[in-house]
Homo-oligomer: A and B are copies of this chain.
Amino acid sequence: MSKALPKRSENYSEWYNEIIKRADLAENSAVRGCMVIKPYGYAIWEKMQRALDDMFKATGHVNAYFPLFVPKSFLEKEEEHAEGFAKECAVVTHYRLKANPEGGLMVDPNAKLEEELIIRPTSEAIIWNTYKNWIQSWRDLPLLINQWANVVRWEMRTRLFLRTAEFLWQEGHTAHATREEAVEETERMLGVYADFAENWMAVPVIQGVKTPSERFAGAEETYCIEALMQDGKALQAGTSHFLGQNFAKSFDVQFVNKENQLEYAWATSWGVSTRLMGALIMAHSDDQGLVLPPKLAPIQVVIIPIYRSPEDLATISEKVDPIIAELKAAGISVKYDDSDNQRSGWKFAEYELKGVPIRLALGMRDLEAGTVEVARRDTLTKESMPLEKIVETLTSLLDEIQTNIYDKALKFREANTFAVDSWEDFKSQIEQGGFVSAHWDGTPETEETIKQQTKATIRCIPLDAVEESGKCVFSGNPSSKRVIFAKAY
């Protein structure tokens, strides 16, 4: 605990790992690439889940649950999809162990599955195979279903929260009667994700579409939200896919439309995952530790009594109890840390590390003066404030902190977004980091060459890109709008 965190400016990667470790968010498990999400980290994820789930329901979606297993033959049905996921599939081949004559257990060779089962890397295949029986008529549409689940993608290089073999996510899978409705849904859910990122996570995002080479395997169009981390790298925080009729055709999902004709259903899918935890940590935290936006903080206010004798503590606690009750009644999550096994200086550092937005310290002198010391995590400032109306004060302070964290991240992004028009400038700017807004000739060849030479990818073609005639930063060929390049997680 006493050792300082690595500094962001010196070793960003180590700083990220150490925050996750010291703030008790997660750890690597004994299973390669799989993480354990620890209680404090999980409490943040639960807040994310609750907020997102409410937003999904408010937009007419319902939850359901589909099997963990995808038969191999299902995955094969949509060709691009199969290609995209085949290389990272965990495969179940047997359904029983037996005693090993040499001790311990062994796979029972007599319990081999006729057809291998894939642990879902995503659920389009199993879900569209199910939808086949649910969709007969236009009256059955739209089908607006979401699932909260674990998925497995056997990544070779993993990183806590950002890229793990198993991760938690939600995946929406909707079916519609028309292309227009499906596109509208795809865009609506992108909007929900952007709203969540900005208003809950306090992370500003660029909404855009992916280039064909970066699309989800099986999608006609992939929309995304892209955020900028403090080291100048981009992070894709959520995707929403317009799947056209690809899955309906692969799984033969036809319905009778209003004109009484058979037609394939139109599909979307959209997801965000525990990767958002990585975005949250990297977007806001500082050299003292985690910085959490109040709306996602498991503890919003911590109160620490400063005392020398048990009598003092009793006097302080008596004053604090009704404040705690009032804070809770106002929907504010509060922790009163009167534990006696650590000094208050240790506690201050600990709650700073854990990103608690507001810390109150209350001693005997405060009590006499009718004041309390209020420390803000976002600014690391402290101030003595009157105890009178403290609940109103804290309520509005939490709002102020939420806004301030967002504004800070937005300012950072603005200061680190660069319009660049020459190849030399492009290369040097990509090297320095940030979002680079540049013209691109629209060809996958140019995109690939730029990636090879600079490691930068096209993060997205922003939805709000301004039409302007320009020249591709690499080829010099004509282009009608700028796209966003960056190195990315």
Contacts and interface: CB of A to CB of B under 8 A. Distances in A.
Contact of A118 (B82, B97, B133, B150): B97
B95 A93 contact: no
B91 A63 contact: no
A65 B149 CA distance: 12
Contact of A168 (B36, B65, B91): B65
Contacts of A29: 66-67, 126, 130
Contacts of A92: 90-93, 119
A38 interface: yes
Contacts of A43: 62-63
A97 B105 contact: no
Contacts of A129: 30
**Looking at chain A, what size class is its interface with the partner chain?**
35 or more
Given A42-B63, A63-B43, A34 B91 contact: no
Nearest to A46: B63
A328 interface: no
A220 to B, nearest CB: 23
Contacts of A442: none
Given A39-B64, A68-B152, A69-B31, A105 B93 contact: no
Interface string A93-136: 11111110000110100000000111100000010011001000
Nearest to A155: B95
Contacts of A107: 91, 93, 116
B65 A30 contact: no
Contacts of A104: 72-73, 76
Nearest to A67: B34
A225 interface: no
Contacts of A64: 36-39, 42
